[in-house]
Amino acid sequence: MYGLSNKSENLTAPNQSQGRIERRFLSGIFFLYAALVFYGSIMPFDFSINSDLILANFQRVWTFWPLSNVSHTSTIDLISNFALYLPLGLLAALRWKVGYGEIDAVTYLNAFAWGAAVSLAVEITQLMSPLRVSGVQDFTMNVLGTMAGATFGTFFVDHLYQRLKTVIMQWWTDQPVRLVAATLMLLLAGDALFPFVPTLDVSMVLNNVKGGIWNVSEGLAQHPTSYWVIREGSIYALLTILLGYAMGKRNTPNWTSAVIVSIAFAAALELGKSCVAYMGHSVNVANPLIAAIGSIAGVGIGYMTRDSISEKNAICFGIFAMVVYLGYLSWGDMNFNTAAATQDGNLPSGAEWLPLYHYGMSGRGEKVLLFIRTIVLSGALGYMLRVLGRLNRRHIGILRIAVTTGILGVILEGGQYWIPGRHPTTTDVFCFILGGVLGSILAGLTVTKNSGEVAQP
């Protein structure tokens, strides 16, 4: 009896510990996102405790849609409000349903209440700002976004979350390089298909195809050489190397499948641009061509180093390539000019030094994409650093990764001071740190394959 009891406790302890860490992770992500939404919505913190201002703003709240035909903002901004609060409702639902095992009704009500509370807090706080406009239409769209996210999180996404978590944990214990390859493919898809507004209008698709650039020379002329070498050729070479190890067995890469998938993926993304309802998206035949050349080069590099490169070396190469890619995104052609340092407006001033200022004051789609891209790229870097530590049997903690990605962000943003047309911001440094921390935490939320113990973040 005693032996059976001890055995049962030993089996359940890892699961209990894993569940506790998962609850903390989901809670942390939810509250972090809620804090960022609130923080960005009340910038630039120009509050005034003026009763006349507050009363005037309060009276103006009820003069907007849906209580009237008047709107204080554009349709795009209203859609942005909806999209901003959709993840909040989704994360809230996942927190209560997956983290705490609540029933659907309780999960949905909790998610709705939290989203409405955050939105109400934002609107009330904005009453004290002369630059912000508080209105019932903002609150309405915020709540609708929360409800949509809560619906997905309560009734659909939780099942997908459990499946995705199982796959991630399996990949982590077997081949963590798969996660790196999948992350890189998601980033490439995000860059190519933004703003993710598909169209089913056949005539629009055909016009996008006809309006594309099908001449290789003309297509190459659209970007400088550095773009083709780094953002297309080198990135797809890296993707092919990662796919080779991800699709093969331990230290036995499958280069044939890797190059086929890489080239097909590049071609699919390019053709997918024709299905995006956005004038800035046009097919350029040079993109998949250079991607194919890079993929083949990746196979050559991988084949020549097949006896000396290991999974650990592949991760090291991935870290190096990610740093180079981040450097290119920040510095472009590296046309440094010391005279640019004396130009007015090249450095932030006043409230512009606040993290997320540019996103909070101009939350356009391209700003959101840059925000997500920086966090995901630095997150992938933090993840790979954690993977490298595991392969080296060394513990690389969250603080060390946060400092590393933060220093990298300071260097890359600081370098923009000497580049005309580029403006360093503390926001991007903040995103580097945040992404590195999130990537490190994600890497720590795994179960060790043999011991069954939960890896601590």
- Give the per-residue SS3 of 158-186: HHHHHHHHHHHHHHHHHCCHHHHHHHHHH
Convert 67-92 to b/e letters by CB count within 10 Å (16 or more is b).
eeeeeebeeebbebbbbbbbbbbbbb
Place of tokens 């740093």: 323
Per-residue tens of pLDDT for the chain, all 457 residues? 334 444 444 444 445 566 677 778 788 888 988 988 888 788 777 777 777 777 777 777 666 655 556 555 666 667 778 888 988 998 888 888 877 777 788 888 989 999 999 999 988 888 888 777 777 778 888 999 999 998 888 887 767 777 777 776 666 666 667 777 887 888 788 777 766 666 666 777 787 788 888 999 999 998 888 889 888 998 899 899 889 888 887 667 889 999 999 999 999 999 888 887 665 567 889 999 999 999 999 999 888 776 656 667 777 877 887 888 888 888 876 777 776 555 555 677 776 777 777 666 655 556 666 777 788 888 888 888 888 887 777 778 889 999 999 999 999 988 888 887 777 888 889 889 989 998 888 777 653 343 343 344 4
Give the pLDDT of residue 113.
92
Distance (Å, whole) CA 54 – CA 60: 10
Amino acid at position 7, single letter: K
Q: Could you count the other beta carbons within 10 Å of the beta carbon of residue 301?
A: 17
* Per-residue pLDDT, 291: 95
* 287, 266 Cβ separation under 8 angstroms: yes
* Upstream peptide bond of 420 is cis (omega within 30 degrees of 0): no
Task: Quote the pLDDT of residue 367.
Answer: 65
Round to whole Å and give the CA distance between 378 and 437: 9
CA torsion through residues 173, 178, 182, 183, sign:
positive
pTM: 0.64
Of 304, 363, 312, the closest CA to residue 84 belongs to 363
Q: Which two tokens stand for residue 93?
A: 């639902």
The pLDDT, as a whole number, for residue 452 is: 41
CA neighbor of 227 nearest in space, from 284, 272, 184, 290: 290
Cβ count near 392 (within 10 Å): 11
pLDDT of residue 454: 37
Q: How do the domains of the chain map onto residue ranges?
A: 14-166, 174-444
Q: According to the model, what pLDDT value does residue 398 have?
A: 86
The per-residue pLDDT for 361 is 63
Q: Give how far the C-alpha of residue 56 lies from the chain's centroid of Cα atoms, to the nearest Å.
A: 39
Q: Tell which residue, 12, 102, 28, has the closest CA to residue 454.
A: 12
Distance CA 45, CA 49 (A): 12
